[in-house]
Amino acid sequence: MKGTVGELGEFGLIRELTSRLTTTPNVRLGPGDDAAVVAAPDRRVVATTDVLLEGRHFRRDWSTAYDVGRKAAAQNLADIAAMGAVPTAVLLALVVPAELPATWPIELMDGIRDECQVAGAAVVGGDVVRGDTITVAITALGDLRNREPVTRSGARPGDVIAVTGWLGWSAAGLAVLSRGFRSPRAFVEAHRRPEPPYHAGPAAAELGATAMTDVSDGLVADLGHIATASGVLINLKSADIDVPAQMSDIGQAVGVDPLHWVLTGGEDHAIVAAFPPDVKLPARWRVIGEVLKAPGTPHVTVDGAAWDKAGGWDHFGDTTAQGAGD
Amino acid sequence: MKGTVGELGEFGLIRELTSRLTTTPNVRLGPGDDAAVVAAPDRRVVATTDVLLEGRHFRRDWSTAYDVGRKAAAQNLADIAAMGAVPTAVLLALVVPAELPATWPIELMDGIRDECQVAGAAVVGGDVVRGDTITVAITALGDLRNREPVTRSGARPGDVIAVTGWLGWSAAGLAVLSRGFRSPRAFVEAHRRPEPPYHAGPAAAELGATAMTDVSDGLVADLGHIATASGVLINLKSADIDVPAQMSDIGQAVGVDPLHWVLTGGEDHAIVAAFPPDVKLPARWRVIGEVLKAPGTPHVTVDGAAWDKAGGWDHFGDTTAQGAGD
């Protein structure tokens, strides 16, 4: 594929993009009509949308188009899983500059398609328009399989807090990249391409999770959403939170407490949930804290104290590199 | 509401936006969690997405934020109706500059909410991020009520082509605006705020429509999609196509054949469909053409000849004002 997006034209680009897609039995009508039709066996559909901007959420010199596609799909599909649902379909609204090489949106779509396949979903529709800033807005749909959605508001005092997936890897990778390095590769790769544990969301719902979310803004910030919605205090025990040795090494090299990445780094899309205390969790879940009565304002503590470094990320704030500061 | 989007902050803005929303019985879980949950009684969900950019699809000096919201929602909800489905829910991915007055996204949301109410739907989720160009990406969902979707591919030789809704009004309004005028108001209003006949989509499905679409790129262009998908020739009869007297007056004033607006103007989101010849259509449908065997490449003719002026709109082309040229 040679030339630019402008040379290929809107319809030429849409043809290229849709020709690369795969399907699933849930796709009753794919791209090419006024709308798609997707199975919703549960008689309810779970839906979420997220938007990524070049310069703000990704950089073309740090991530390939394919990786941006994987990541953009992953963050939406993880939101579906975090409700306890199984992802079924994705729609893409894409803004691309006319002078962008046509290979870029095509490789982006390959990434979205492949991440959808990992999660069991398929791309069913989209829209492409010309604009100055590459903008990737994805909507993901999912099916609850006759279980109730696991919201953020059901955590009860006495519950345990458990997590599965990666924590702080993306933030450590970003710290490496923003200092001009390209290794250690495991962390850089984790920043470029998260691996959310999609299966863990529905599995947690089946195990009786009382509240759940994916870690997109950072563990403390996202558990803060659960604390607020549930009206509880959540206390994390740092001794129960793994900090990989390799992450400690990078932390030392760049002068960052690696626990900070683990507690405040988003974008790995780990799944964190509250469970009744007697739950029997599969091996890859780690109990990292407990749910307590909120003495005042619901919030999150680490070893009984506020985690006083900035957690999470306000998209309108001045911070441009999540978790990269100290 | 004073101040800018940046002063209000991401979470403050999201609070303002979600506090204004209304709900429907189809909304099982609204905004505020990882994802929303919407009823899909049919066990299938219809889904579509479209993106609007400032400067390309709307101008802040020509349209209020409220009107942009109405229009952005309308074009997605019309796509749902054009499948024969009933709109249920909408998700919004919004990019706004930090220096934008906070009233702008709030009034935009009011417009989206109100247009959803017209169509029987509700806003259930979204994402807001900061960026240079106002970008409004909307995803709409709908329910087929146990009917099969009406695609673009079912038109058969012998069918009649019928349309309901407005044709060319938005294009005439744009022509007026782009020449520096603000009246006649009916056309300017039609450009700012389309009124798709949402009910007509499911009604047409019930009446046995064999193919259907909404008119977003222009009547000839959109029927061209049906002709191609169905492998047929579609012939329109200009004598059966109304050109309102007021539109003729504007055409004369600005030197444009008003039939050109009717045949190639998009954005009014009329609904056009093919029906079996014996169909009994309600009063507001007008039969404007017929479906014939394609002698070669499927296409659309007007009175047996190609409509030789440019129809439709390639978003990567150089045309910036749809239907405004001659």
Residues A168-212 pLDDT 10s: 999 999 999 999 988 899 999 999 999 999 999 999 999 999 999
pLDDT, mean over chain B = 92
Nearest-CA residue of chain B relative to A49?
B126
Q: Do A314 and B10 touch (CB under 8 A)?
A: yes
Work out whether strand A27-29 and strand A305-306 pair parallel, antiparallel, or are unpaired: unpaired
pLDDT confidence of residue B307: 87
pLDDT confidence of residue B309: 60
Structure letter (DSSP) for residue A312 = S
pLDDT in tens, A22-68: 999 999 999 999 999 999 999 999 999 999 999 999 999 989 999 99
Count the Cβ atoms, other than its own, within 10 Å of residue B122: 23
pLDDT, mean over chain A = 92
Report the distance separating Cα A269 and Cα A246, nearest Å.
20
Cα of B224 to nearest chain A Cα, Å = 13
Contacts of A61 (CB under 8 A, 6+ apart): none
- What's phi and psi for A293, nearest 5 deg? -65, 140
pLDDT at residue A101 greater than cutoff 90: yes
pLDDT confidence of residue A236: 98
| Residue type, position A292, single letter | L
Q: Tell me what percent of the residues of chain B surpass a pLDDT of 70.
A: 94
Report the distance separating Cα B155 and Cα B229, nearest Å.
9
Q: Give the pLDDT band of residue A311 (cuts 50, 70, 90).
A: very low
Q: Do B142 and A56 touch (CB under 8 A)?
A: no
Q: Do A51 and B137 touch (CB under 8 A)?
A: yes
The correct CATH number of A5-143 out of 3.10.440.10, 3.40.50.1820, 3.40.50.300, 3.30.1330.10 is: 3.30.1330.10
pLDDT confidence of residue A123: 98
B166 and B216 in contact (C-beta within 8 Å)?
A: no
Indicate which of A17, A18, A26, A34 best probes the interface with B, i.e. most B CBs within 10 Å of its own CB. A34
Determine the average pLDDT of the residues in B300-319: 65
| Contacts with A141 from chain B: Cβ below 8 Å | 45, 47
Residue B36 contacts A, CB cutoff 8 Å: yes
Q: Do the domains A160-306 and A5-143 match in fold? A: no
pLDDT at residue A291 greater than cutoff 90: yes
pLDDT confidence of residue B249: 92
Indicate which of A16, A45, A138 best probes the interface with B, i.e. most B CBs within 10 Å of its own CB. A45
pLDDT at residue A319 greater than cutoff 80: no
Determine the average pLDDT of the residues in B230-234: 97
Nearest of A318, A178, A313 to residue A256 by alpha carbon: A178
pLDDT in tens, B131-154: 999 999 999 999 999 999 999 999
Report the distance separating Cα B31 and Cα B143, nearest Å.
20
The answer to which of A10-19, A116-125, B65-74 has the lowest mean pLDDT is A10-19
pLDDT confidence of residue B295: 86
Is A143 annotated to bind ligand? no
Indicate which of B28, B44, B45 best probes the interface with A, i.e. most A CBs within 10 Å of its own CB. B45
Indicate which of B16, B18, B33, B319 best probes the interface with A, i.e. most A CBs within 10 Å of its own CB. B33
Q: At A49, is the secondary structure helix, strand, or coil?
A: strand
This model of the complex carries an ipTM of: 0.92
| Nearest by CB: A129 against B34, B56, B132 | B56
A214 and A202 in contact (C-beta within 8 Å)?
A: no
pLDDT confidence of residue A58: 93
pLDDT confidence of residue A54: 96
pLDDT at residue B158 greater than cutoff 90: yes
Bridge partners of residue B292, in order along the sequence: B233
pLDDT in tens, B258-286: 999 999 998 999 999 999 999 999 999 99
Q: Give the pLDDT band of residue A239 (cuts 50, 70, 90).
A: very high
Report the distance separating Cα B326 and Cα B319, nearest Å.
12
Q: Give the distance between the most distant pair of CA atoms in chain A.
A: 62
Q: Do A48 and B36 touch (CB under 8 A)?
A: yes
In chain A, which among 50-109 make CB contacts under 8 A with chain B? 50-51, 53, 56-57, 79-80, 82-83, 85, 89, 91-95, 98
The answer to which of B69-78, B177-186, B188-197 has the lowest mean pLDDT is B177-186
| Contacts with B97 from chain A: Cβ below 8 Å | none
Residue B46 contacts A, CB cutoff 8 Å: yes
pLDDT confidence of residue B11: 86
Report the distance separating Cα B140 and Cα B309, nearest Å.
32
pLDDT at residue A99 greater than cutoff 80: yes
| Contacts with B141 from chain A: Cβ below 8 Å | 45, 47
pLDDT confidence of residue B252: 92
pLDDT at residue B223 greater than cutoff 90: yes
Residue A234 contacts B, CB cutoff 8 Å: no
pLDDT confidence of residue B320: 38
Identify which has the larger pLDDT, A78 or B10: A78
Q: Which CATH class is domain B8-143?
A: alpha beta
pLDDT confidence of residue A163: 98
pLDDT at residue B319 greater than cutoff 80: no
Please provide the CATH number assigned to the domain covering A160-306.
3.90.650.10
Report the distance separating Cα A30 and Cα A17, nearest Å.
13
Cα of B169 to nearest chain A Cα, Å = 21
Q: Do A93 and B49 touch (CB under 8 A)?
A: yes
Nearest-CA residue of chain A relative to B99?
A316
- Scanning chain A, the segments in alpha helix (DSSP H) are 5-8, 10-19, 65-81, 103-119, 169-178, 185-192, 200-206, 219-230, 245-254, 258-264
pLDDT confidence of residue B183: 86
Q: At A162, is the secondary structure helix, strand, or coil?
A: strand
pLDDT confidence of residue A182: 87
Report the distance separating Cα B33 and Cα A151, nearest Å.
6
pLDDT in tens, A249-285: 999 988 999 999 999 998 999 999 999 999 999 999 9
Q: At B169, is the secondary structure helix, strand, or coil?
A: helix
Q: Do A40 and B35 touch (CB under 8 A)?
A: no
pLDDT confidence of residue A310: 47
Cα Rg of chain A (Å, integer): 20
Q: Do A49 and B83 touch (CB under 8 A)?
A: no
Is B264 annotated to bind ligand? no
Nearest-CA residue of chain B relative to A130?
B316
Is A326 annotated to bind ligand? no
Domain extents for chain A? 5-143, 160-306
| Nearest by CB: B44 against A38, A83, A212 | A38
Q: Do B35 and A140 touch (CB under 8 A)?
A: yes
To which H or E segment does residue A286 belong?
strand A286-293
